Structure 1
């Protein structure tokens, strides 16, 4: 191994050590990640880091050079984003699904006090990006909703995005299909990387999901 390779390996080990107090909850949209993270954090005295809440700040700090997909997305109107493109193109070009801004998530976590455990949650926690940061395999889990659960969750909370387009029903269908494909991709990636998954369906109470995540974390 070259000296550069040894340095990179040492840096990776050091980074994992610095993030050893972080528990990661990733998964598909509408799986209840935020709710479960808050419940676990309240019970065990942990800090919650929401990657969704960090998105506006990360977008403002991004440049076209380090986030080209985000830069293109920001030039689109609502119909171009959600109505006129196919779900397949929406999936492949959505900036957060491409991992843009993930380095900012890591920077944010490193700035938080290490004395308190952290539950980081959000769909931006892509398996292939999180796995190299894990000091322990039981510090991460992905919640993957069934299509029925996702539709129920989204219908219950109401959708602002489709209502801002000229064709809300088509935008809703596009978003549901895009997110279904994203969840399928997460299934495949977590299986390939041998990372833990909890499939969430409409028959599973919130208490059960929280209990299974707590058990997965060994808390």
Structure 2
């Protein structure tokens, strides 16, 4: 092993050690990540870090050089984003799905007090980016909703994005299809990396899901 490789390995080990108090809940949109995180954090005295709530801040801290997909996305109007492009292109070019800004999530987590455990949640927690940060495999889980569960979740809470376009029905279809493909990708990636998954379907209630995630974390 070359000296520079040793240094990289040592840095990775040091980073995992600094993040050993962090629990990660990733997954597809509409899986209930935010709700489950808040309940578990409240029950066990943990801090909550929502990656959804940091998106605007991270966009402001990013540059076109380190986030080119985000930079392009910001120039689009709502129809360009959600109506005029195919779900396949939307999937491949969506900046958060590309991992842009993930380093800022890590920066934020490293600034939090290590004395208190943290539950970080959001679809931005891509398996291949999270795995190198895990001091223990049972500190991460991905919630992957079935298409029926995701559709029911979105119908129940409404969806602002489609209503801001000229064709809400097509925008909604495109978003659901994009998110279905993203969830399929998460299934494949978590399986390949041997990371824990909980499939969320309409037969599962909130209390059951909280229990399963809690057991997965060994809390």
TM-score (norm 2): 1.00
Superposition RMSD on alpha carbons, in Å? 0.3
Partner of 1:152, secondary structure, is helix
Q: Partners in 1 of 2:121 and 2:179 — Cα distance?
A: 17
The CA deviation at 1:113 is 0.5
The residue aligned with 1:93 is: 93
Q: Partners in 2 of 1:7 and 1:191 — Cα distance?
A: 29
Q: Partners in 1 of 2:169 and 2:18 — Cα distance?
A: 45
Q: Partners in 1 of 2:190 and 2:49 — Cα distance?
A: 22
The CA deviation at 1:196 is 0.3
Q: Partners in 2 of 1:61 and 1:161 — Cα distance?
A: 24
The CA deviation at 1:175 is 0.1
In structure 2, stretches of 5+ residues that fail to align are none
Q: Partners in 2 of 1:166 and 1:134 — Cα distance?
A: 43
The CA deviation at 1:95 is 0.0
The CA deviation at 1:42 is 0.3
Q: Partners in 2 of 1:32 and 1:130 — Cα distance?
A: 19
- 1:203 pairs with 2:203: yes
Question: After TM superposition, what 4+ stretches of structure 1 lie above 3 angstroms from structure 2?
Answer: none
The CA deviation at 1:27 is 0.1
The residue aligned with 2:77 is: 77
The CA deviation at 1:37 is 0.3
The residue aligned with 1:114 is: 114
TM-score (norm 1): 1.00
